[in-house]
Chain A
């Protein structure tokens, strides 16, 4: 996925947390230092205006990766860099990054009026010279996300979950953001409201040339939104590439099982192989390929060697079995017939 001019470049980024007990206890019991590898040597780049989705089960490091991209969590190794972009107003520089959060009830300060919430980034970053201009910009943003300018005087508790998410988006846009990291933006909303928010996001992307980093476990949402897709398992990317290519012919066994869980209206009673077992602890991951204990295709080598991401047409896959079987790129197994 080498882009000519990517807006976001993540290179071998890792994030490890020290989760060992207090030092006194460690000395007393002789317990070793323990380390949690939340994100392990992740690399990808995102072109401007695209939607890059990160998918995976709970605890696979999606949220840590998101926090690294917005700068809340410095990577312990590797780097997260941004490319220079030319904005609509002619200025050139690194993009502004903002985040849209999962829980619309915790993402707005309950003691602040909506107008102040949306105005905070404008005031903090001094994007407007006067209060009158700030108020005008707030009103404009509220209308952009489908609320009314009069809503600025109300408190967050007066709004529904979907409306709060709109306020959240307005606050993110108030920074003149170019990259929006969306951490499960619709998972706390009703299905009918989810669609409205997603459509709003698509509309804003076209209008403002936004780049989305979408983090989700809802594969229907991801399929609807994504240009590119990365599937994470236990801190590592197992398959990455063009979203349509992956959805139409997943290669990595984990991706296949994951996509197999999407309900299909066409064949509601198709035979499905449910993903058994649980995600192993990232503190003590299995040796070799982290997925091998749950993998239906696992071979002996899988428990010894950590697979690297191998480039294939329009995507990369990290799987030893596929690597070893020649011509695996043709072995695009249809989603409705899961392999044994």
Chain B
């Protein structure tokens, strides 16, 4: 985001309180660095991965189930070993990370969009609209997240004709995660909106008959974004985990475009036959991503909280 701004702005961001706190918190910049490396590597996967594991011309069945390079029987290009189909584990992790990250990010953005909109309307209008929307939120919250996600993804899967199931698998997962995760944003934004709408700058806009939609978008929304961004960062980790869980349970990404969760599910079947590398490395990658995201979110929450300075 900052890269397209002018250099003066970048320097100012670096010099600001947040920038200072970022440099002074090792957990923040280390996790940001790790995350940046993971993101860069996964999106550059076609360029840097030893093979494209989904191109059958590059996969050799005689190289199946090789252990990692450093154990007995490991072979040269396959640093983290291969799976029973002869696919390089490092490559599948790089490609799988990309799927996981995209789904995680997309579901955070979608749930944020749904939640912020509902929260703004409920908080600004109040009355029966507020009541209706918030009871809907309570209902969603009373159903276990995972159960809800499985239900939603099962319903969408049944609604789609079989030919569309695989290409739209990612969209279905994003939707099923978002439909359960928007509540937190809605509640946060609603509470803040109820405070902001009584403030005098909103009254000043109402006196000159600025339309409610404009007031919500231009006045109230910017003043509710700080906690929403913190929640979104922390939820990114949760969304990636939710996707992994769904995929692990077999209602997520199909084997043809596996995410980290799918890889863990497949690897899990070979765990007791001794091929530990099939499950350990994708799981470690997943753990690393979620840990980095959470550490970054924790730092952001503290850095943006003026009461902690």
Q: Is the CB of B223 within 8 A of A111?
A: yes
A181: nearest chain-B partner, CB-CB: B207
What chain A residues lie within 8 Å of B204 (beta carbons)?
A: 98-99, 101, 107, 168, 171-172
**CA distance in complex: A172, B206 (Å):** 13
Interface residues of B in 190-216 (CB under 8 A from A): 199-201, 203-210
Chain B positions within 8 Å of A264 at CB level: none
Asked if B222 contacts A99 (CB within 8 A), the reply is: no
Which one of B208, B219, B222 lies within 8 Å of A121 (CB-CB)?
Answer: B208
Residues of chain B with a CB closer than 8 A to A124's CB: 205, 208-210
Closest B residue, CB atoms, query A102: B200
Instruction: Output the least CB separation between A79 and chain B (Å).
Output: 18
Query: Is A72 located at the chain interface by the 8 A CB criterion?
Result: yes
Contact pattern, B 62-73, Cβ under 8 Å of A = 1, otherwise 0: 000000000000
Q: Contact between A70 and B210 (Cβ–Cβ < 8 Å)?
A: no
Say what secondary structure dominates the interface of chain A. loop
B-contacting residues, A28-61, CB 8 Å: none
- List A contacts of B210 (CB < 8 A): 120, 124
Whether B222 and A111, one on each chain, are in contact in the complex, defined by CB atoms closer than 8 angstroms, is yes
Question: Please, which residues of chain A bring their CB within 8 A of the CB of B201?
Answer: 106-109, 117
Interface readout for B24-56 with A: 1 if CB under 8 Å, 0 if not? 000000000000000000000000000000000
User: Which residues of chain A come closer than 8 Å to B219, judged between CB atoms?
Assistant: 109
Does A146 belong to the interface (CB within 8 Å)? no
A138 within 8 A of B: no
Query: In the bound complex, what is the Cα–Cα distance between A110 and B225 (angstroms)?
Result: 13
Interface size on A, residues (CB 8 A): 24
Is A19 interfacial (CB-CB < 8 Å)?
no
A123 to B201, CA, bound (A): 16
Residue from A70, A106, A120, A121 within 8 A of B199 (CB atoms): A106
A125 within 8 A of partner (CB) = yes
Q: Is the CB of B203 within 8 A of A72?
A: yes
Q: How far is the CA of A323 from the CA of B187 in the complex (A)?
A: 58
CB neighbors of A among B218-261 (8 A): 219, 222-223
0/1 interface trace, chain A 93-107, chain B, CB 8 Å (1 if under)? 000011101110011
- Asked if residues A101 and B203 are in contact (CB atoms below 8 Å), the reply is yes
Please tell me if the beta carbons of B223 and A98 are within 8 angstroms of each other in the complex: no
Is the C-beta of A311 less than 8 angstroms from some C-beta in chain B? no
How long is the Cα–Cα vector from A120 to B206 in the complex, in angstroms? 12
Query: Which residue of chain A has its CB nearest to the CB of B210?
Result: A124
Instruction: Check A125 against B223 for contact (C-beta < 8 Å).
Output: no
Chain A residues with a Cβ under 8 A of chain B? 70-72, 97-99, 101-103, 106-111, 117, 120-121, 124-125, 168, 171-172, 175
Please list 16 pairs of residues, one from A and one from B, whose beta carbons are closer than 8 Å in the complex, sorted by A's number. Answer: A72-B203, A98-B207, A98-B208, A101-B204, A106-B199, A106-B200, A107-B201, A109-B201, A109-B223, A110-B223, A111-B222, A111-B223, A120-B205, A120-B210, A124-B209, A172-B204
Q: What 12 additional pairs, Cβ within 8 angstroms, besides A98-B208, A99-B204, A172-B204? A: A72-B206, A72-B207, A99-B207, A101-B200, A101-B203, A110-B223, A120-B208, A120-B210, A124-B210, A125-B208, A171-B204, A175-B208
Query: Which 3 pairs show the lowest CB-CB distances between chains A and B?
Result: A107-B200, A101-B200, A111-B222
